[in-house]
Amino acid sequence: MEKIALEDRIFNPPADITEQANAKAGIYELAKKDRLGFWDAQAKELVTWFKPYDKVLEDSNAPFFKWFINGKLNVSYNCVDRHAKSNRHNKAAIMYESEIGKKVCLTYGMLSREVNKFANALAGLGVKKGDRVALYMPMIPEAVVAMLACTRIGAPHSLVFGGFSPESLRDRINDCGAKVLITADGNFRRGNPFPLKQNGDKALEDTPTIEKCVVVKNAGNDVAWVEGRDVWYHDVMAAAGNYYEPEAMDSEDVLFILYTSGTTGKPKGVVHSTGGYLVQIQSTLKYVFDIKDEDVYWCTADIGWITGHSYVVYAPLALGATLFMYDGTIDYPDKDRMWDMAERYGVSKFYTAPTAIRTFMKWGTEYPKKHDLSAIKVLGSVGEPINPEAWMWYYEHIGGSKAPIMDTWWQTETGAFMITPLPGITPLKPGTATNPFPGIEVDIIDENGNSADVGYLVIKSAWPAMIRTIFGDPDRYVDQYWKRFGKYYFAGDGAKRDNMGYIWVTGRVDDVLNVSGHRLGTAEVESALVECPEVAESAVIGKKHDIKGESVCAFVILKEGFKGSQELIDKLRKHVGVKIGPIARPDDIIFTAELPKTRSGKIMRRLLRDIAEGRAIGDATTLADPGAMKDIAAQYAGKED
């Protein structure tokens, strides 16, 4: 019998899910017939509005679109109050476990109390509607409380991933002009406290807008203290009142700013607004993960990324679900830690990234086998294309060959899922995100903007959770996303369409890397490298990596008088780690005498990727110096010896 390639195998939706799924057959047709009508119905069903909106979409000032015009609402009211007032009052909202085994459970009633108190505490520190608040926090319930408290006041938050360096934190605080920083003393990593506040203190040496720093006592490590600036979370909470009237926010008011890497050295502050975001994140989670009241939902993303915002915190809470969150490493004390917790908490919906799946796969099946994972009904994947082998392993060993895998394609800028299967409807194929979500219009186009089966992924019409602008730089917003293909949003990804019409996202086509599902700009790493006195020039590429998807590989030209050595490699790697954060540290640094450049001076990273991945070197005819490739290849080969 002919063997069917993994990516051609078809997995039909399980009958038990189809029978009772939230998304019923016909949903695509319905949304296609009346796209705005679909979003209108979602907005009415899923959001509690203080004042109804007048109109669904305003597109007269494209690409500055507005959704749910003149509607008034509050996100913390939707995530907490409405459940705390209902028969979900005593339902678990958050179940949390720390690496060292500390457990916390907050019901909706309890969460409501905490959020109100912390909103009062922040107001007491001078935070008002419109002020920015920076968060540099571990995955602890207080982080969720802090995010919700900001939304209650109407103060946009800006979270910075705890793995980012003090310099990265400082730049983000200064770019958005945050008034308050919320952080923690530390958190545990492989049993040892990681000194988060120490990093925060370093960042705050040069952040003129910061007035106060709120510190959660979490790991119990010693911290330095700046009198007049620093306050303990538990102290301000003890003094805070129990109720804070939620601010009636306009649908288009800013909800949060989240920095992400682009094609220049400076990260972009992606601005999300309130109404459209709350509609689309709920609608997508409800249908894609088929959220039911009895679910225990676990998304493993860190709250410092968009997945953590939309699908750890806001969507599950707005839907009144029970979420589980874990702060710690995935193999502490042993490699079955995740499955141990999935079993103990009865996790029924599990959402993680391909890089984690490939790590679990490398460790072997004995770890998930030790645990009863039969409660799992739906699985999810996000962050990068999932390779069919990892898909199959996830399907068989975590999902027990019965839980469908939702491969969700989206971005920091899209705010919510855009291309994804629906668990009761879509036949799956390993490695494809399949179809656009109902009410979302995407296409694949060629250089000239014509629909094609292979080419650039674009979004053809506005969507509710879309990026509104780049903080402080509306021109960059227009240039970055809307210039290349006119009225279409260009996502920066390449894609192809198969014979079932499914979309296969193949990865970035711009100068952005995807390392373990985290976005990094080649220009960010390059500018960190050229800060070192020895470095004249550098070119950074993403090199295929079995676990991380891509690893950072840097080609470096040294200034006259410097010689490449292992010490210098170590020094450069360390510098990038300090400058950006450990995730940006290059795995490979290759010293070279030249870089492949076009006559206009643009570095041809494609050719460097060919060298690094051991392929025949592609078309080099546009190079200013076609001979350069041979020398670079020889230098790369020298490094391998």
Q: Binding residues for ligand PRX, per CB under 6 A?
A: 260, 306-307, 382-385, 407-412, 433, 491-493, 505, 507-508, 514, 519
In whole angstroms, how close is the CB of 519 to ligand PRX at the nearest point? Answer: 4
What region, left, alpha or beta, does residue 26 occupy, with left being phi > 0 and alpha being psi -120 to 50 degrees? left
Q: Of all helices (H) and strands (E), which one includes residue 571?
A: helix 566-579
In whole angstroms, how close is the CB of 281 to ligand PRX at the nearest point? Answer: 12
Length of the chain: 641
Is the CB of 158 or the CB of 412 nearer to ligand PRX? 412
In whole angstroms, how close is the CB of 497 to ligand PRX at the nearest point? Answer: 14
Q: How does strand 55-58 pair with strand 66-69?
A: antiparallel
Is the CB of 520 or the CB of 603 nearer to ligand PRX? 520
Is the CB of 306 or the CB of 392 nearer to ligand PRX? 306
Q: Collect all residues with Cβ–Cβ distance below 8 Å to 212 and sequence separation of at least 6.
A: 125, 126, 179, 180, 181, 229, 230, 231
DSSP assigned state of 283:
H
In whole angstroms, how close is the CB of 617 to ligand PRX at the nearest point? Answer: 25
Is the CB of 180 or the CB of 465 nearer to ligand PRX? 465
In whole angstroms, how close is the CB of 421 to ligand PRX at the nearest point? Answer: 11
Q: How does strand 249-250 pair with strand 72-73?
A: antiparallel
Taking residue 328's Cβ as centre, other Cβ atoms within 10 Å add up to 22
Is the CB of 424 or the CB of 492 nearer to ligand PRX? 492
Taking residue 201's Cβ as centre, other Cβ atoms within 10 Å add up to 20
Q: What is the rounded distance in angstroms from the CA atom of residue 503 to the CA atom of residue 433?
A: 6
Three-state secondary structure of 442-496:
EEEECCCCCECCEEEEEECCCCCCCCCEECCCHHHHHHHHHCCCCCCEEEEEEEE
In whole angstroms, how close is the CB of 229 to ligand PRX at the nearest point? Answer: 32
Is the CB of 255 or the CB of 491 nearer to ligand PRX? 491
Which single residue is written with the structure tokens 């021109």? Answer: 475
Asked if 72 and 248 touch (Cβ cutoff 8 Å), the reply is yes
Is the CB of 213 or the CB of 520 nearer to ligand PRX? 520
Is the CB of 270 or the CB of 572 nearer to ligand PRX? 270
Which tokens belong to 625?
Answer: 């110096």
In whole angstroms, how close is the CB of 505 to ligand PRX at the nearest point? Answer: 4
Based on its alpha-carbon atoms, the radius of gyration of the chain, rounded to whole angstroms, reads 24
In whole angstroms, how close is the CB of 503 to ligand PRX at the nearest point? Answer: 9
Is the CB of 95 or the CB of 491 nearer to ligand PRX? 491
Is the CB of 519 or the CB of 597 nearer to ligand PRX? 519
Q: Collect all residues with Cβ–Cβ distance below 8 Å to 167 and sequence separation of at least 6.
A: 203, 578, 579, 580
In whole angstroms, how close is the CB of 378 to ligand PRX at the nearest point? Answer: 15
Asked if 516 and 545 touch (Cβ cutoff 8 Å), the reply is no
In whole angstroms, how close is the CB of 624 to ligand PRX at the nearest point? Answer: 30
In whole angstroms, how close is the CB of 630 to ligand PRX at the nearest point? Answer: 32
Q: Collect all residues with Cβ–Cβ distance below 8 Å to 448 and sequence separation of at least 6.
A: none
Is the CB of 78 or the CB of 284 nearer to ligand PRX? 284
Q: Of all helices (H) and strands (E), which one includes residue 390?
A: helix 388-393
**Position of minimal CB gap to ligand PRX:** 412
Q: What is the DSSP string of 95-111?
A: EEEETT--EEEEEHHHH
